[in-house]
Amino acid sequence: MTEIFSSLYGQPDSQGPSGPSALGFGSGKPQVPQNMGPMCFPHQMVDEGGPIRKPSAMNEPFYLLRELPMENELTGHTNLITHYNLEHAYNKFCGKKVKEKLSNFLPELPGMIDSPGIQDNSSLRSLIEKPPVCNNSFSPLTGVMLTGFRLHTGPLPEQYRLMHIQPPKKKNKHKHKHHRPQDPLPPETPSDSDHKKKKKKKDDDPDRKKKKKDKKKKKNRHSPDHPGMTGAQPSGNSLR
Amino acid sequence: MAEKFDNLEEHLEKFVENIRQLGIIVSDFQPSSQTGLNQKLNFMITGLQDIEKCRQQLHDINVPLEVFEYIDQGRNPQLYTKECLERALAKNEQVKGKIDTLTKFKSLLISELGKVFPEEMAKYKAIHGDDPPS
């Protein structure tokens, strides 16, 4: 068996097509003639991908034996999370349960932010694909311009009333309990009117009552989290 | 670097709060609220100016577009980070498995070839050096 192997790949002295043809394998691989110069490579011998060995090296015991590639220090064999010191991040995001909704990430942001942006044409994707055409700088409004913002007195029409309604937040309850000084309080008049409006709206829509009751039941089922306390952390990491 | 984000975050929070108060004023407008409304409108513009100034400090920050898809769907963007880490770990384990399997195969092949072709394998080892056992 070893004799056949040696004859196949040839000793330095044995050349020519006698090896494969003697074994009856047909044409087999092309043999390199000894009289070729150092720069003459047969077309079949040139390998575009890897390093090309010198013709003198063709006489070495193994045909087309390439040099091993340079070893990289960093391969998939290493735990890359440990290598890049991401263990803390991994435990933070994958060790604990991350809440699904956007409002859990930004609890202090007003409005209905959990609904898809496509519904009310407020998606970030549309903003990137079609940026609004505007001037390069922001200039304050003059007195003449401000006259355009004179509004009619009275409440908004019903079709626009739902736009500013926020989902019930847990932080309101925690505010009364923990007296958080962080949240800036709105002016008294608007806040009072807002509470009055909310109370009025509660009386007006029985459907909202049912929805809020359901939400309260869900809150009682789950363990009391403190999104107000965690609100500072995600907001601190939101832009990282 | 955290200071840049804190500064921008502060401006954004003030801006959002101003907008919220503006919405409250508009929701039930009274003639006496006109001056307050005008003030809030000008605060909105100064807020945008402040945010514009913060942009220069953050020109080297890149945000992947996939995060915007999460936000547009109303999902927590931290889920994107979580899924990135999980995918990276899974791929890391997959590649490590391939490396380990190929290393074992190489050592097994060398040992078997050494049994069948001892002289040739000795020449091969002389060229490439002894491979450490897996």
Q: What is the ipTM of this complex?
A: 0.75
A144 and chain B in contact, CB less than 8 A:
no
Give the minimum alpha-carbon distance from B109 to chain A in angstroms, rounded to a whole number: 16
Indicate the helix (H) or strand (E) that contains A229: helix A227-237
Q: Which tens digit of pLDDT belongs to each residue from A42-66?
A: 444 444 445 555 555 555 678 878 7
B51, B92: one domain = no
Residue with tokens 């040099």: A67
Asked if residues A90 and B89 have their Cβ atoms less than 8 Å apart, the reply is yes
> Are A193 and B24 within 8 A, CB to CB?
yes
Residues 6+ apart with CB under 8 A from B69: A125
Mean pLDDT of B40-63: 91
How close are the terminal C-alpha atoms of chain A, in Å?
65
B8, B57: one domain = yes
* Res A36 pLDDT > 60: no
Q: Which chain A residues have a beta carbon less than 8 Å from that of B59?
A: none
The more confident residue out of A106 and A234 is A106
B70, B128: one domain = yes
What's the token pair of residue A175? 């505010």
B75, B106: one domain = yes
Mean pLDDT of B30-46: 93
Q: How many domains does chain B have?
A: 2
B11, B34: one domain = yes
B6, B29: one domain = yes
B 86-125: CB under 8 A from A: 86, 88-89, 91-92, 94-96, 98-100, 116-117, 119-120, 123-124
> Are B116 and A1 within 8 A, CB to CB?
yes
Closest CA relative to residue A67, chosen from B5, B11, B129, B8: B129
Return the pLDDT at A81. 92
Return the pLDDT at A207. 66
The pTM assigned to this predicted structure is 0.58
Confidence of residue A219 (pLDDT cuts 50, 70, 90): low
B88, B132: one domain = yes
B81, B114: one domain = yes
B101, B46: one domain = no
Q: Which domain holds residue B3?
A: 1-61
> Are A239 and B52 within 8 A, CB to CB?
no
B84, B46: one domain = no
B41, B84: one domain = no
Rounded Cα gap, residues A76 and A160, in angstroms? 56
**Boundary (domain end) residue, out of B16, B31, B61:** B61
Mean pLDDT of A186-207: 51
Q: Which of A220-229, B8-17, B76-85 has the lowest mean pLDDT?
A: A220-229
B89, B57: one domain = no
Q: Which chain A residues have a beta carbon less than 8 Å from that of B120?
A: 2, 5-6, 9, 61-62
